[in-house]
Structure 1
Amino acid sequence: MSGRNSLRARLLAGSLVWILGTLTVTGCVLGDLFRRHVEERFEAELRIHLDQLTASIELTPDAGLALRTDLSDPRLRRPLSGLYWQVDREGGDAARGVLRSRSLWDVTLAVPADGPRDGEVHVHRIDGPDRERLVMMERIVQPEEVVAQPLRLIVAADERGMTSPVREFVGLLVIALGVLAAGVIAAVLLQVSVGLAPLKRLREQLAEVRDGRSRRLEGAFPNEVRPLVDELNAVLQHDAEVVERARTQAGNLAHAIKTPLAVLGNAALREEGPLARLVAEQVATAQRQVDYHLARARAAAATQVPGLRSALRPAVEGLVRVMRRVHAERNLHFAIEAIPDDAAFRGEEQDLQEMLGNLIDNACKWARREVGVSVAVREGEVAIVIDDDGPGLPADAREAMFARGARADEEMPGSGLGLGIVRDLAQLYGGRIELGQAPAGGLRAALFLPAA
């Protein structure tokens, strides 16, 4: 079944697209919000350091620069710690790195040419002492004592202090969202399986109806599926009624025809001469045709009815008892192998008896001492094998025995419809019959029918 026509695949595909899309957007939004939060805190810390530097810087009596107090963060006193400050002179005799933190050691930060106005704060990305990327924050201050030489105060920190937490958070977020996605997908799979379970049960019930184990759909179904079940049961009931009416009408028609035929036949038997013999022969032919077509009509109708199931064991045993009485003078031995209790034919019991009755009766007519019957179930069909120890049939003459009216011996009693009607009935049900040689040398008739 292709995914395009699968309800399960459609539900899963729609749910997966929605879940993965939602979690992806959620992950991107959360990651961006956390990144902004970290950047804001990072820049806020730099601003605090810059404010501390601004408040601590002072001019010495010899026009130099010094700090009144050290800045609070100990990283500023540890060489190459990743947190730095630097003071540059601006103006005519500009000088870079006039004063800098111990953490810079003997390195001077190369800052870009920029001209923020007094009090403004600018942020840049520059290279650090170890060629790492730094986030730099600067401001220009104008000391009151030295009007002509403004000071450029710079604070910088390793960018990894901002990007590393974001990277770690994104990694944990991906894992968390992945676990969440797996859990939600598992829940969706379970939900879809539970939601479609009534359809699976409906399919199983239909299979039981088809195989003859049930006549209608039974059991509790959800409200959404119940109308479908009711409609299917109504269709099954309607089909059964239509078929039953058709079979009844066919039987009535056959009875209506056979009654005047019987009257004609009886009248012909009371007379003598060529005309009487001709009438008797034609009446017998007409009766055979009526029996043949009635059996076909009954079987054709039965094949359209689901839920038919005919057990083989009682059918075979019942027919063997009848044949023992019919052929009592022959004193035949019936060898019946053990028939499985679950062996059943998916069709009308009357048609099963029609087919088996013809085959067993035919074997009894030709058998010398023994008739064998065996039943096996395999690959969705039942195989019924009937052997006799009679003279058998040559291979080139077996197919001709299926023709209507064909008889191996004209002196044998019978209508000549046996094998022909058996094959027609079997084919109507999707089965077949094969003729071969029995182990005792007689004829073997193997009948294959759909199993129920």
Structure 2
Amino acid sequence: MIRSLRLRLMLAATTLAVLFMLALLPAMQGAFSLALQDSIKQRLASDVTTLISAARVENNRLLMPTQLPDELLNLTDSRLLGYIYDREGHLVWRSRATHEEDISYRPRYDGHGDQFARIRETNGQEFFVYDVEVKLLGGKSAAFSIVALQPVREYEQTLDGLRENLYLGFGAALVVLLSLLWIGLTWGLQALKRLSQELDQIENGALESLSEEHPSELLRLTGSLNRLLRSEREQRSRYRDSLDDLAHSLKTPLAVLQGVSEDMAQRPEDREQAWVLQSQIERMSQQISYQLQRASLRKSGLVRHQVRLRPVLQSLCDTLDKVYRDKQVRTSFDLPNPCYVPIEQGALLEMLGNLLENAYRLCLGEVRISLRQTMSGVELCIEDDGPGVPPDQRARILQRGERLDRQHPGQGIGLAVVKDIIESYGAQLTLGDSALGGAVFRIHFPTV
């Protein structure tokens, strides 16, 4: 399937131009053939007139001069053949060139006066014939048929030459036409190219909306896209504001409930109810935190970002080195220079923050971050030398609220948020075994 609009238009134009020229060629050849035959007829009629003007009749006998006015009739190797027949069809005179030709043509006295035809002899030769019936004695019985012939081969040679010239001319005209069409399409499609460039700038965050400097045929499209962009921004803003308002309105009741549960836990008879209440409060806090992070980090519909990876990694690692100062984690980077990942900076910080915090917390002393280009995009890997993740537990830890590490505090939503962010960008998260001995998290960003 041809994806380029310009190539599609060129292919359609080429097909139409070729079909038009193929239909035009026979018409032009037919018109030229008719014109050429008419020219031959006029020439033969002129030759017959020459014979008529040179002929004399004495005592009912036809007399022709030795030298005729038309030199072609005097030559022995002439292409022009002349014959004169009497009323009974007997040959009474012939030009010099006819002595080398054996023509079986016989005149027809049908009262039409003159006749132009194309005949074929038994030997395969073809001739154009112009036959005129004349009465040289002014109405008396002495009547003759004067015939001029010309071989068809010269006509066919001329027609073949014309056909060759037509093919060459039409071929050259087709090349010129297609070149002009390509230039015209390139110029005409500049508007779509400018629109595509503006969309790229919107995806990269350089523009907020499309300009109105487009052809009138595209203004409806650009207007619809601008309304879509505004609607998306407004919807995302309303979504975030609504969730912020919800979180704020629930914060005080949750704090009150937390205080009540702590008071209940002081009484032995209410400890079980206090534990149930605290678990439900924690679950509600977890849901609120998860939904707030989803709202703030989910990818927008049209905007596409490219963020430099190394500065973000360096900042996060510097912070985690201070948090885990006693552990003295060795961090190594295997990154090309420069390297970018197609994700918003806030989402990248949240995603890497969760993954690196897990790696620092669970590793024995080494973490490695690498990025490599693949045939279908880029792949970011975060590895550690910790205990790893058992294959049968890898799917479970990506679920919201699930945790394998019970020795450290947490709500178990970090990896779920990471998975949600990655999927919102059309990427894929997989877990595996690292060469360092622990786990490796692979994030594959496909090429857009």
**Distance in structure 2 (CA, Å) of the matches to 1:17 and 1:438:** 58
- What does residue 320 of structure 2 align with? 323
Cα deviation, 1:114-167, whole Å, max 9, x if unaligned, reads: 22549x323344456976322233333334499444333333222334443333
Matches within 5 A, 1:422-441: 422-441=418-437
CA spacing shift, 1:362–1:76, aligned 2, 3 Å: same
Cα deviation, 1:70-111, whole Å, max 9, x if unaligned, reads: 212333233353322222232xxx462222222222767433
CA spacing shift, 1:340–1:283, aligned 2, 3 Å: farther
Deviation for aligned residue 1:252: 1.9
Comparing 157-166 with 181-190, greater Cα deviation is found at: 157-166
**Distance in structure 1 (CA, Å) of the matches to 2:322 and 2:70:** 117
- What does residue 70 of structure 2 align with? 73
CA spacing shift, 1:364–1:110, aligned 2, 3 Å: closer
Instruction: Give the SS at the match of 2:90.
Output: strand
- What does residue 295 of structure 1 align with? 293
Which one of the candidate residues 339, 362, 365 is aligned to 2:361? 365
- What does residue 53 of structure 2 align with? 55
Deviation for aligned residue 1:170: 3.3
Q: Is the 8 A contact 2:382 2:440 kept in 1?
A: yes
Q: Is the 8 A contact 2:107 2:145 kept in 1?
A: no
Cα deviation, 1:391-423, whole Å, max 9, x if unaligned, reads: 334444444433444333433222233333323
Which one of the candidate residues 305, 309, 314 is aligned to 2:311? 314
Instruction: Give the SS at the match of 1:225.
Output: helix
Which one of the candidate residues 192, 195, 206 is aligned to 1:199? 192
Cα deviation, 1:191-229, whole Å, max 9, x if unaligned, reads: 223322432443454355446676544696444434433
Mind listing any 5+ residue stretches in structure 1 that lack a counterpart? none
Instruction: Give the SS at the match of 1:291.
Output: helix
CA spacing shift, 1:51–1:358, aligned 2, 3 Å: closer
CA spacing shift, 1:442–1:37, aligned 2, 3 Å: closer
Deviation for aligned residue 1:249: 1.1
Deviation for aligned residue 1:253: 1.0
**Distance in structure 1 (CA, Å) of the matches to 2:89 and 2:405:** 133
Q: Is the 8 A contact 1:243 1:305 kept in 2?
A: no
**Paired residue total:** 443
**Distance in structure 1 (CA, Å) of the matches to 2:71 and 2:302:** 93
Instruction: Give the SS at the match of 1:105.
Output: helix
Matches within 5 A, 1:33-432: 33-60=31-58, 64-68=61-65, 70-79=67-76, 81-90=78-87, 94=88, 96-105=90-99, 109-117=103-111, 120-126=113-119, 132-144=125-137, 147-203=140-196, 205-207=198-200, 209-210=202-203, 215-217=208-210, 221-266=214-259, 268-269=261-262, 272-274=266-268, 275=270, 277-278=274-275, 279-300=277-298, 302-304=299-301, 306-338=303-335, 340-347=337-344, 349-379=345-375, 381-432=377-428
CA spacing shift, 1:252–1:86, aligned 2, 3 Å: same
Cα deviation, 1:229-253, whole Å, max 9, x if unaligned, reads: 3432332122122112112211221
**Distance in structure 2 (CA, Å) of the matches to 1:322 and 1:68:** 124
Comparing 153-162 with 129-138, greater Cα deviation is found at: 129-138
Instruction: Give the SS at the match of 1:412.
Output: coil
Q: Is the 8 A contact 2:48 2:147 kept in 1?
A: yes
Instruction: Give the SS at the match of 2:382.
Output: strand
Q: Is the 8 A contact 2:50 2:70 kept in 1?
A: no
> What letter matches 2:73 in structure 1?
L
Deviation for aligned residue 1:20: 4.0
**Distance in structure 2 (CA, Å) of the matches to 1:9 and 1:333:** 55
**Distance in structure 2 (CA, Å) of the matches to 1:261 and 1:439:** 45
The alignment's TM-score, normalised by the length of structure 1, stands at: 0.82
> What letter matches 1:158 in structure 2?
P
**Distance in structure 2 (CA, Å) of the matches to 1:171 and 1:339:** 61
> What letter matches 1:292 in structure 2?
Y
Deviation for aligned residue 1:256: 1.9
**Distance in structure 2 (CA, Å) of the matches to 1:170 and 1:344:** 62
> What letter matches 1:101 in structure 2?
S
> What letter matches 2:315 in structure 1?
G
Q: Is the 8 A contact 2:85 2:91 kept in 1?
A: yes
Comparing 377-386 with 360-369, greater Cα deviation is found at: 377-386
**Distance in structure 2 (CA, Å) of the matches to 1:316 and 1:114:** 107
Identity of aligned residues (%): 24
